[in-house]
Structure 1
């Protein structure tokens, strides 16, 4: 098995419990191993929403939302699957083909409705994912702002 190079970025669990948001850091392995992220998130018990935000190498982000019937996933840039194992794993789980190496367009792949129930409709999430001039952490901050947990996310990111 190949040794995984460390990846810059952050992996955060977001939990909404009794109308309050809580953000906590996931293990660093969540940035390179989709199964690790899914497993760690699935262990978090909550009556409200539980999902993970992964900002990988200033290149793309992944949203992971566990559920009993399997995780919902959104990859901000399908082309990232050409260079990053975790992005390729997302496409595998989604049963989506990676783009051609010649294709330079950027598009999200996965469930754009992943956060619709907590205030971020699919068309808005698609616009945020399509903001190619922004880094993934900036895109995730926009998502946090729209959903109402930007203060909690900022506080956590200042700590890690």
Structure 2
């Protein structure tokens, strides 16, 4: 599926790399290119070369978010709103990587819905049921949902420090 919007400029938002190593959380800002390309985000996360868990939280235009978790067997993904693929290349790329069999007409007629691996973070502290509840809170913006994820998992302070440095 090809997204209809292909702006030359980057979308607003942020990307944060999250690392859990030796029982501690660490967060770092990701390059802005991660908001436009899952390949760029995945490459940047793999370059961290941590012995612990590594994942990225991408907030795109405060419209939706993507959780990207590279692993040796392949990258695990969660897209918070599959209908975003109509307007954003990175969301369309996520659906393609997930082998989601969704037609454009189906997306146009749908309310927002998640696509991907709800258990993407379950082994490091966020049960899929809790993530499902966060995703069901459609009155929250993507950055607020990411904040909830951080609070549930215990890295809210680390995330907040990165967002402060980014002026968010």
**TM-score, normalised by the number of residues in structure 2:** 0.91
The Cα offsets for residues 37-92 of structure 1, whole Å up to 9 and x where unpaired, read as 00000111112110000000010000000001110000000101111000000000
- Note the 1:6-25 alignment, pairs <5 A: 6-25=10-29
Partners of 1:29 and 1:98 lie apart in 2 by 26
1:121 partnered with 2:127: yes
Question: Runs of 4+ in structure 1 displaced over 2 angstroms?
Answer: 2-5
1:74 partnered with 2:78: yes
3-state DSSP class of the match of 1:29? Answer: helix
Q: CA RMSD in A?
A: 1.2
3-state DSSP class of the match of 2:108? Answer: coil
Q: Which sections of structure 1, spanning at least 5 residues, go unmatched?
A: none
Q: Which sections of structure 2, spanning at least 5 residues, go unmatched?
A: 1-5
1:6 CA displacement? 1.7
What number of residue pairs does the alignment pair up?
159
1:28 CA displacement? 0.2
**TM-score, normalised by the number of residues in structure 1:** 0.95
1:3 CA displacement? 5.8
Partners of 1:136 and 1:101 lie apart in 2 by 19
Q: 1:91 corresponds to which residue? A: 95
